[in-house]
Amino acid sequence: MRKRSLFLIKTPSLTKSAENKNVSPLPKTQRGHIPENEFMIDYYNLENGRLIVCKAEQAQVFLVTSPNDQEKTLLTQRYQIDEHTLNSALDPDELARLEKEPNHSAVIFKIPIRYNPDELEFAVSSIGLFLFPERIILVAPETIGPFGGKAFSRLKSLPETMLKIISHYISHYMAHLQVIDQISDALADKISASMENKYLLQLFALEKSLVYYLNALTSNGILMEKIKKCGESLGFVAEDMELLDDIIIENSQSFKLAKMYSNILSSMMDARVSIVNNNLNILMKRLNIITISLMAPTLVVSIFSMNVAIPLQSHHYAFWIILFLSVFSMLGVLLFWKFKK
């Protein structure tokens, strides 16, 4: 059994876990008789209000991560999952939606996933929740789970388990948005003293990530409303409907927070670009002052270096007098620029 790890959020960076699967080719079998225990699938059973790792024969929740062709064949043949819907669950650009099939309901849901610390870019992807009367099949493009902690305590039914999984990832949006806010504040401090585009590009990447989050949260909000309308057909009870209302509220709050951060970044972007340009102008001004201040002593030395009869050429302290005049002229230029209004 492979161990899975949740997406962990740290400040100021996030960490992610990914896992590559090497599945050996399976022997040819008859349709509907693929040996399920040979696949890299995690199995959970609903016991005492929690999801407990179990054997395939006892499983009520199946977790399939980055399925290969053999695993897709198992899902489409044995459980009659539509191939297009299965591929949609692995497509990061797919919109969230609900589809009713003869023997199950398919939910495509948008979740926040990886974080690129080099480019400060957050991304979203899709997962598929396939709710059967006796099981849930969760298909994800990257490693997720295990399902533990307070969020997955006191589970009573499979529909409630599905809602808890959705709620779990809605809370991820809120946590990621808080990290984005902290990173943007840190970048703002760096930009105030910066003269290059590095931090501006990172700020642009954050703004781009917020656009992805806004689209994902909007799509999830429409999905939640549709699930609410179809709650009875999905087997939801009164408690499930209350949990769904809480999820809708939390999704709405995440959307408003993402929109606020996006507006702040957009409105302040021009000002921050101006700050970088202003810092560069200040540097150029200082360099010009240094250049001009060096021209004054150069002029003094050049005058006394002419190959003609000049004053002080026979003076015993001529060198020190010329050196003093050079330093004095340079200080005079610097003082002039300092006190000039």
- Structural tokens at position 274: 């101006």
pTM: 0.70
What is the pLDDT, as a whole number, of residue 224? Answer: 93
Of the candidates 191, 185, 76, 60, the residue with the CA atom closest to the CA atom of residue 131: 60
Beta bridge partners of 129: 107, 138
What is the pLDDT, as a whole number, of residue 22? Answer: 36
| Cα separation, 86 vs 179, whole angstroms | 32
What is the pLDDT, as a whole number, of residue 146? Answer: 59
CA dihedral 322, 325, 327, 330 (to 10 degrees): -130
Q: What is the pLDDT along the chain (341 residues), one digit of tens a residue?
A: 443 433 333 333 333 333 333 333 333 333 334 445 445 788 888 888 888 888 888 889 999 988 888 889 989 999 899 999 999 888 888 899 999 888 899 999 999 987 767 667 788 999 999 999 899 999 988 777 657 677 777 888 898 989 988 998 888 898 899 888 888 888 877 777 666 777 777 888 888 889 999 999 999 999 999 999 988 888 888 999 999 999 999 999 999 999 999 888 887 776 666 776 777 777 788 888 888 888 888 888 887 777 767 777 777 788 888 888 888 888 888 888 777 75
> Cis ω on the peptide bond leading into residue 146 (within 30° of 0)?
yes
| Cα separation, 89 vs 139, whole angstroms | 7
**DSSP string over 239-264:** HHHHHHHHHHHHHHHHHHHHHHHHHH
Q: Give the max Cα distance, the chain.
A: 113
